[in-house]
Structure 1
């Protein structure tokens, strides 16, 4: 039917013809939102050929539309409003809400449950912080840790790695590739050092990507059986996330300097002639380990007057020439290696003041020689010092399924 203009209406009025003006119904803001929401559902059906469905594996928008459709079906006033628009039969009888449906839930409440926030109120077309079901599972894996029952096996490793970081034998680097995650790997994630103790069998996940289940030990005594991609994602998202490099020793010692090498000091091992009861009773085990850029003879001159030498003369037991490495870094490393065997005594200096020496250890000379050799060949990171055995012991192969304690 043709619509009359204002001029047509005036002409008809002059001719005595009454024109019935049909007033268009106006919707309340709530009704307009209901209609707009239903039209979004209809567009989804046009694009996908089906009604939106529930399920963790479904897209966030589809899940939202499914809940919205349940709500519209359940409320009589909503059904009455949109039935004239329902050319797809979405409100047909028999299509009732799923069990457990709550009419009270709205878009914002659902988004909150799904861990999503909208950029503007009631605007689901613009979302931020959208996490898929897989991402939420990964986040839960990282957060849900359990106590590591055999942490005593791993604690020396964490101490060793920290010592090697302090000495410069290990460094931290930005995490880049999933391939860097392997058994024996070290990382910093969430402000904690993490050790990949085991890597399970490689498999293909539902997204067609390779993955594996890990056993990750954290320096606070907890562990997590997270997926490799969970750890990868956590490292990528953590601005402070890092990988810890393997120890690199380089040319530290030599009987003679090679061409281009620069001498940087001497490591010395001393034995005290002190009459302190503890020292006297363990003369062959109590050693001082230090580093100097002087001649060793000059360094120990006047030892009987220095509390660092236990106020007694000393005997030089061994020396090692140091090339191309900072003295203090290497000294710190050696001291940390033998920290579990540090001598705990207090002596008085020549003024009667108490002094606790820090460079003396209950360590046999063989263990010191062994440590120096392993620093030279770059394998020291695989060993820890065991005071009970008075020797360096190799860290067990934690990449295997054997979780028995070290020998």
Structure 2
């Protein structure tokens, strides 16, 4: 790869990369910083399930990551540098994207635009700073009273929990105010919240639409709060979630029908890592996931990616999927094998601890059985028992 030019160094400075005149080792310090910054963005995507986005309604860190991702995509040297690491497809389609209004801002200028004084050295302190609007929203959420007719709502909460346990519903990161509608469930402050009623939509003093809600919580309380207050509370809560509607129909068909298109692949991988815990259980430790891209592309550069234990991998099984919701299926598979999750901490290339989440200590024949039970839709009746190393029927 060609060295960065002086003009490129100026552009790299906008990414928060310190420009050094001396090149050391196979990669320059600038290149290592770009890779580290891209890996931070990848961790954000793994945690939140989507690429970082622009917009004042989003967390300040998400907005910074969004700007950095745009700039990496627009610099050919940076794009080439991290291209082999991009297993999530973050750079796809970004190179030709129109310029954003923040393109000419460095990180400090962006922070100022976001209403934050001070440089990036103080950025960690921002996690603990709440605006007055956020404080008002938190006070409104906290102002609850006993729900007199909770008996009529309790069965709804119980059913939602059963749906979550069986993979019929999933909980994902809350994204936008339009998701807040009567009959929908959320997770706020560790409690399930149900929007029972929504009043007339009006325009508030700031020119934004808003409405009064009746929100019932699974602890038997309720709150009469504004829709924008609930939105702010869900956005500021790192564990805030929207509970999806139930999955309808089979997750995937046994054979493609006319007009079906292959939707993806369940893959099972074995690690070639020399980590002592991996080496001691190599035949049992498997990475199980679902991909919509070619598997060869998914595992390219595995030895450089913490999610692959920084080692090459061997493909031991694949299962073709047709017309399925890939994210829901992957969540279901991971829930089934959660009791056997392989809990190992490794150090990434920069010495930072990482705990990969898709590795399980489970024999391959059990994965085969789980796939068959997903096909015939009986999987909701089973759970994995690590002690006996088999799927066992649950008692309801």
- TM class by shorter chain equals 0.3 to 0.5
Q: Could you tell me the TM-score, scaled by structure 1's length? A: 0.40
Q: Could you tell me the TM-score, scaled by structure 2's length? A: 0.41
Please identify the structure whose Cα radius of gyration is greater: 1
